Amino acid sequence: MIREFGLIDVMYLVAAARWTLALTVTAFIGASLIGIVIAIARILPFAPLRWLSAAYIHVVQGTPLLVWLFVIFFGLPLAGISVNPWLAAATAFSVYGSAFLGEIWRGALVSIAKTQWEAGASLGLSLWEQLRHIIVPQSIRVAIPPTVGFLVQLIKNTSLAAVIGFVELTREGQLTAAGTYKPFAVYITVAAIYFAMCFPLTQWSRSIERKLDVAR
């Protein structure tokens, strides 16, 4: 029986957006933990570690996110490791995001003038002390705008989790469209919810970039 698209369906879509946000936050935390390691490894004076971290970035960035979802969700069970859609999606997005955040943060670290590193070394600071007290505090100003920009992309990319059955906003939209036969109204609503989540972050990122005047 075909039913009309109504307020209750909108409420279901809004409720599903909670899982979009939960997946985004979980993936961003996971990507950040891996990404900071990758970023630091890329600037350490140890060539093999730099090569390995660079290879990781190239492989991850060069592989579509959809492939990572399939590899983790369908591939791991072949090795005897059972994963549910939530764990598979969170892991795939964390791996994928770490390569981009690692490169963003590496760029922020190397953007600091070499004289700042030399000044820290002249004070007898170790590499880790230089990072902690001199380099990282300055690089944060550079890193914030592109990091927020990537977060916006991550929110939108979570829609791909629908292909492995994870019920977030896009998947709930598919189910609602199938039940109401009103795909235009459903997906317009879905788009509006995504816009409501992403637009404030986009504006915030632009505001931060203007305030910090990173370009200059």
Please give the residue that has the higher pLDDT: either 194 or 82: 194
CA atoms within 13 A on the CB side of 210: 6
Q: Is residue 2 part of a domain?
A: no
Q: Is residue 1 part of a domain?
A: no
Element (H, E) at 211: helix 183-212
Q: Is residue 100 part of a domain?
A: yes
| Residue-level pLDDT at 147 | 93
Q: Is residue 112 part of a domain?
A: yes
**In which domain, by residue range, is 112 found?**
7-212
- What CATH number does the domain containing 127 carry? 1.10.3720.10
| This prediction's pTM | 0.89
Residue range 159-185: mean pLDDT, rounded: 93
CB atoms within 10 A of CB 159: 16
H-assigned helices in 42-182: 47-61, 65-70, 76-78, 85-110, 114-122, 127-130, 136-157, 169-180
Residue 94: pLDDT band with limits 50, 70, 90:
very high
Q: Is residue 142 part of a domain?
A: yes
Please give the residue that has the higher pLDDT: either 214 or 19: 19
In the chain, the number of structural domains is 1
Q: Is residue 176 part of a domain?
A: yes
